[in-house]
Amino acid sequence: MQNMKIGIVCFPTYGGSGAVATELGIELASLGHKVHFISYELPFRLQHFHENIFFHEVNVSDYPLFEYPPYESVLASKIVDVAIYEELDLLHVHYAIPHASVAWMAQQILLSKKIRLPYITTLHGTDITLVGRDRSFEPIIRFSLNKSNAITTVSESLKRETLEAFKIDNKIHVIPNFIDTREYDRKHTRCIKSSLGIPNVPVLVHISNFRKVKRIDDVIKIFLHVRKEIPCKIILAGDGPERAMAEAMARNSEYRKDIIFLGHVPNPKELLCMADIFLLPSQTESFGLSALEALSMGVPVISSNRGGLPELNLHGKTGFLHKPGEVEQMAESVLYILNNKNTLQKFRDNARKQALKFDKNKIIPLYITLYKEIISQNKSKK
Ligand code: GMT
């Protein structure tokens, strides 16, 4: 099959799904495929000019008549436009809500013009959590998933959860998150702890969008337990709704000088290269891309044991897993690793070895194979 023309719809802001969608697009483009990103903003990881990558902005005007901007309708029209004029072979949407239902709408409009555009939906987790909280989303998610030409989830755990939450007739393909292990390599990253005024003490790192699901209060609690035992620092990167609460916790503590809030960092590896431990005590993670980034940089991970995390973080090898909220146990695991240089080195080596299993060169071909299968099925229907 010749080079493909792929449309990618994703949320552009900070977050794992946008990162996965963008890195996938960049890799496909580097292999010669034409990639058309369709989103309301330039995806945050699309910082440079790339050959074969095109961006189509979904511009929702503020009509005084509407209380809610008609984002879905504008997106559907944009997909139709791009599909016709760029002759897309396939559309890949990230998130069922609202992208899968919009993809179906666009597909129907195109069909009325005798154009068949297959779409693949990748689930990243929050759709399923959302439905757990609000069943009113169930009909639209179930419908748009069953109408997808293929569904992928980022872990076995998310596949199980999806099948439990919805009656799905389609096959679900598990394609985990991936990483460029050559880029995320401690050996090739110039790292200067002193640039953050950090003396030679262990550094704990947490990176997220500070949503409630990340349990940022637990991150601070774990650190305070560890800090009582040994001198160390923690760097928290990212921003979001829980940041003010976390800052208040830090400011009220006697160790406030050891807790650094950095805000958004454009390139996590520049921070992870300073880290001795990565903390991810989330209530759940469908995969945990930030933990994979840490492992690839040779940083052991102390995480919760929910969602897809046990598929990535190996208990007693690449880090430790505990139930959400078990902050003392998590702190003990941090101390166990930090208290002995050889133990830390062993965990670092295991972390790197585990990350290599998720290298982009192993995972991206899984998407390409699926794309080709769906495109050729679509062509045979014509
Ligand atoms: O973790 C977040 O809050 C961001 C979220 C997103 O949609 O961008 O991440 C989800 O998708 C990532 C990429 O597949 C996964 O690595 C994250 O584990 C997942 N987050 C959750 O399940 C909470």
pLDDT tens for residues 46-66? 878 889 999 999 998 877 788
User: What share of the chain in percent tops pLDDT 70?
Assistant: 98
Instruction: Average the pLDDT over each of 42-46, 63-67, 130-134, 215-219 and give the range with the smallest value.
Output: 130-134
Q: Is the CB of 158 under 6 A from ligand 1?
A: no
Q: Quick check: 212 pLDDT over 90?
A: yes
Q: Quick check: 131 pLDDT over 80?
A: no
All CATH 3.40.50.2000 domain ranges of the chain, comma separated, are 5-178+359-380, 186-358
Token readout for 266 is 């454009």
pLDDT per residue as tens digits for the range 68-91: 889 999 999 999 999 999 999 999
- Of residues 23 and 194, the one with the higher pLDDT is 23
Q: What is the pLDDT of residue 190?
A: 75
Q: What is the DSSP letter of 179?
A: B
Query: For 29-68, what is the HEC assignment?
Result: HHCCCEEEEEECCCCCCCCCCCCCEEEEECCCCCCCCCCC
pLDDT per residue as tens digits for the range 329-366: 999 999 999 999 999 999 999 999 999 999 999 999 99
Q: Quick check: 216 pLDDT over 70?
A: yes
- Residue of minimum CA distance from atom 2 in ligand 1: 15
Q: Quick check: 197 pLDDT over 80?
A: no
Q: What is the pLDDT of residue 375?
A: 97
pLDDT per residue as tens digits for the range 260-310: 999 998 889 999 999 999 999 999 999 999 999 999 999 999 999 999 999
β-pair partners for 278: 205, 301
Q: Quick check: 244 pLDDT over 70?
A: yes
- Centroid of ligand 1 to alpha carbon of 305 (angstroms): 15
Query: Cα torsion for 121, 122, 128, 130, to the nearest 10°?
Result: -80
Q: Where are the beta strands (DSSP E) in the chain?
A: 5-9, 34-39, 53-57, 90-94, 119-123, 150-153, 172-174, 203-207, 233-237, 259-263, 277-280, 301-304, 319-322
Contact partners, residue 340, CB within 8 Å, separation at least 6: none
Q: Is the CB of 126 under 6 A from ligand 1?
A: yes
Q: Quick check: 42 pLDDT over 90?
A: no
Atom of ligand 1 nearest to the CA of 285: 22
CB 11 within 8 A of CB 95: yes
Atom of ligand 1 nearest to the CA of 20: 13
Superfamily name and number for 5-178+359-380: Glycogen Phosphorylase B; (3.40.50.2000)
Mean pLDDT estimate for the chain = 94
Q: Quick check: 172 pLDDT over 90?
A: yes
CA distance 322 to 327: 8
CA distance 244 to 241: 7
- Centroid of ligand 1 to alpha carbon of 304 (angstroms): 14
Tell the burial category of 47 from Cβ atoms under 10 Å away from its Cβ (0-12, 13-18, 19+): exposed
Token readout for 343 is 């133990």
Q: What is the DSSP letter of 366?
A: H
CA distance 6 to 29: 10
Name the nearest CA neighbour of 214 among 157, 298, 288: 288
User: What share of the chain in percent tops pLDDT 90?
Assistant: 80
**Per-residue confidence band for 187, with pLDDT thresholds at 50, 70 and 90:** confident
Q: What is the pLDDT of residue 134?
A: 77
- Centroid of ligand 1 to alpha carbon of 91 (angstroms): 21
Token readout for 370 is 């699926």
- Of residues 178 and 41, the one with the higher pLDDT is 178
CB 205 within 8 A of CB 271: yes
* DSSP3 helix / strand / coil % (the chain, rounded to 5): 45, 15, 35
Residue to substitute in 285, 295, 309, 360 for testing ligand 1 pocket (most ligand atoms within 8 angstroms of CB): 285
Q: What is the distance, to the nearest Å, from the Cα of residue 13 to the centroid of all Cα atoms in its chain? A: 11
3-class DSSP assignment, residue 264: coil
CATH class of 186-358: alpha beta
